[in-house]
Structure 1
């Protein structure tokens, strides 16, 4: 019984951390006037949609004043094993820096 409670706590903590990662990604996109759903689709073209991403976009709870550094965004995505999205973000970062 105790193990089940610990497992549930671990799962809940991961979900909270994943939501934070998504919020940071959405904010990073906002900082650079990019559409997070478009970038997500580039990274995962076979996935129909990401409900957690939609929920974060719709909730828009005041992160707009936070600037997310490019390197931090890449680190967070890689920490979660989100390599495909990190690759797309890295491409966008390079494109943004070329724009000046």
Structure 2
């Protein structure tokens, strides 16, 4: 029983961290006046719209004062294995930093 509880805690922690990553991505997009859904779809055209992304966008409780720098955003995406999305983000960064 105790093992199950630890396993559930690990899964919940990952989900919480993943939601934080999505919130940071949405805020980064907001900071740069980009559409998070469009960038996600560009990175993962074969996937259905991400329900967690949609929910976070609809229920945004405001990181509006938070500025996420480009390097941090790329690092966070790569940490979660979102390399395709990191590549799309890097392309956007190149557009507004050149």
TM-score, structure 1 normalization: 0.96
Residue in structure 1 matched with residue 8 of structure 2 by the alignment = 8
Shift of 1:95: 0.6
Structure 2 length-normalised TM: 0.98
Residue 76 of structure 1 corresponds to which residue in structure 2? Answer: 76
Measured in 1, the distance between the counterparts of 2:23 and 2:43 equals: 17
Root-mean-square deviation over aligned CA pairs: 0.5
Count of residues in Structure 1 that have an aligned counterpart in Structure 2: 98
Alignment partners' CA distance in 2, 1:70 and 1:23? 15
Q: Deviations over 1:66-86 (max 9, x none)?
A: 011000000000011110000
Q: What SS does the corresponding residue of 2:19 show, helix, strand or coil?
A: helix
| Structure 2: unaligned runs, 5 residues or longer | none
The equivalent residue for 1:45 is: 45
Q: Give, in angstroms, the shift of residue 62 of structure 1.
A: 1.3
Give the secondary structure class of the aligned counterpart of 1:60.
Answer: coil
Question: Unaligned stretches of 5+ in structure 1?
Answer: none
Q: Which residue of 2 aligns with 1:33?
A: 33
Tell me which protein shows more helix as a share of its residues: 1
